[in-house]
Every structure is written in C-alpha cells, then in structure tokens.
Structure 1
Amino acid sequence: MGRLRRALVRPWAAGLPAVAVAGAGFGLYWFQPWTLWQDETVQEALPAPSAPAPAAPDPDTPGSSAPASPAIVARGELISHEHATSGTVKLLRLGDGSHVVRLARLDTSNGPDLRVWLTDAPVKEGRAGWHVFDDGRYVSLGKLKGNKGSQNYTVPEDVDPASFRSLTIWCDRFDVSFGAAELTPT
C-alpha cells in the first residue's frame, strides 16, 4: 500500500515546481513590480505657438503681433488615488486652435500600462475615486511618457475638450486611477 501511495504522489510532486515557476513568471509579467522602483523623468518644453507670425510686431502693419503664447482653458491639481500623485494639469489652446494637455511637475509611481485620460467623471478623493473614470466617457491621450517631470499630450482634433471635466493617470491593466485632477475652466 505504501508503494502505491508513493507512486501516485510522485508525479504530482514533480509537477508542482513547474506550476510554481509558471505562476511566478505570469505574476511577474502581469504585475511588473520592478516598475515601482524605476523612475522615468520627461522634461518637455511648453508647446510653442503653432501659428506662424513675424518675429516681432511691425508697428506699420495693422494687426501684426508677436506669436501668442498658449492660452490656459482649464487647470487643476492632481490628487492621489492608488499611488501618491502630485502635479499640475493645464488644458492649453494653441494659436492654431488645437489643444494640448500639459502635466507640470508630475510626480507619481511608475506602473504597467499607464495612460493619460480626459474624462467626464467627477474627481473623488480616496478609494471612492479609484475606479470611476472608466464608467462614463473618456478619451485616451496616450501612454504616460514618464512618471516624473513636465510633459505634453495632444488632444485629438475631433475631441471637444470642454465636454470633459477631469484628467486621470489611469492604469489600464488594473483599471485603477493612480491620480486625478478636476479641470476648472479659467
């Protein structure tokens, strides 16, 4: 009887390490825990005016002027959700009428599959705000370029930025907000 029991247990015991290694490999791929300790700093310049203009105003030509700087349409301060997050968000209108979202002094954790989203959801503090941003309308402005620094994200031409009231740093893999800002019109 003991010999039969050992014969039945042996194949199961031999397969257990293979299952453990496969599970650990999947867990490392899915969670990517090393990204929490890797910072990516991006320092992009403020977008330049898009409309061509003379280098200096010409007093003899009516209506000529130096290039206008981007106009701030809305702004907000990032609050923390799943991870400690801080920084300033500005929605800018460029001289040609296009829009850009500027994240300034961003400081958040790195993570897998982070995105920048404009959303119509209200910003809620604490755990109540972690999962609200994919419940309504949102538009992805692309992958987060870096978890630190200042960076710009172009708003697609067919998107009306006035129809969105918040911005989130969204982890698409785990459907959770790292941080968000309520956009207040200026």
Structure 2
Amino acid sequence: VSEGLPAELQTGIAATGRFRDADSVHQGAGSVTVYETMTGAKVLRFTDFKVTNGPDLKVWLVKAGGITSSADVKASEWLSLGPLKGNIGEQNYIVPQDANLAGFKSVVIWCEQFGVLFAAADLTATAS
C-alpha cells in the first residue's frame, strides 16, 4: 500500500507515535501521525509502516496507553477504524467525526478473529 497524504491534511498534527512489536512473533514498526484539518476532521497516517501479516487484522484506537499484551487491549475500550489496508506501506485511516480522540491513548493492529495484538503505538499529543 502506498497512499499519499492529501493536501488538506497537512494543516496540523494532533498526535504522534511509533509502532512497537507485540512479541517475538507479532512485530510492527513505523510511525503513526494524527492529522487534523481546519474543519476538525482527523486522519491517522502510517508511514514507514510494517507489521507481521496475519488474518483479520484491524486498526483500533484504544483508550489505554502502554499496551504490551492482548490482555491490555481486551481490558480497555476501543474503536475500530476498519480493516488494515496492507501489512507494509503508507496508509490513511479516517477517524469518525464523533470520536473524542483525546480519550484514546494508543493505536493497535489487532487480529479480531483470534483476539491477538500484533503491534501497538502510544499516541503523544502535540502542543497546539
């Protein structure tokens, strides 16, 4: 996957993070940036992204921070942004307008079928 960054998303950065491995089998790397437009729309962008391929992988925002295990994800509230578009490459995910992004501390790559964490990134808000 190699999605470009639309010009209207280059207006502001709300948060950033870096993906890390879930364990020695489920590995992830790359950056996540949350872009915010003048209208308040938010998009998660993955750059230099790579994750171990697997079945039924989804992109979730998770309320807990410091995610290190599948149990951490299961113990927290989450919001699905949909299926992972590919296990390698730049990709964009739209955050629903009614989602309060400030309440979410992590982005995870999650296997819904088996309830397994593949990679996680803590989100750090940028100064406005």
Distance 1:86 1:80 in 2: 7
Distance 1:139 1:109 in 2: 21
Percent of residue pairs identical:
41
User: Which residue number corresponds to residue 157 of structure 1?
Assistant: 97
Amino acid at match of 1:118: L
User: Which residue number corresponds to residue 81 of structure 2?
Assistant: 141
User: Which residue number corresponds to residue 79 of structure 1?
Assistant: 20
Note if 1:46 corresponds to 2:5: yes
Considering fraction of residues, name the structure with more strand.
2
Amino acid at match of 1:75: T
The within-5 A match list for 1:37-116 is 42-49=1-8, 69-82=10-23, 83-116=26-59
Which whole-Å deviations, capped at 9, do the CAs of 1:40-92 have from their partners, x for residues lacking one?
xx100113217xxxxxxxxxxxxxxxxxx231111011000041110101111
User: SS of the counterpart of 1:149?
Assistant: coil
Distance 1:134 1:92 in 2: 27
Note if 1:175 corresponds to 2:115: yes
Distance 1:145 1:70 in 2: 24
The 8 Å contact of residues 67 and 106 in structure 2, kept in 1 or not, is answered as no
Considering fraction of residues, name the structure with more helix.
1
Q: Tell me the C-alpha RMSD between the 2 structures.
A: 1.3
User: Which residue number corresponds to residue 29 of structure 1?
Assistant: none
TM-score, with structure 1 as normaliser: 0.63
Gaps of 5+ in 2: none
The 8 Å contact of residues 67 and 73 in structure 2, kept in 1 or not, is answered as no
Q: Shift of residue 144 of structure 1?
A: 0.1
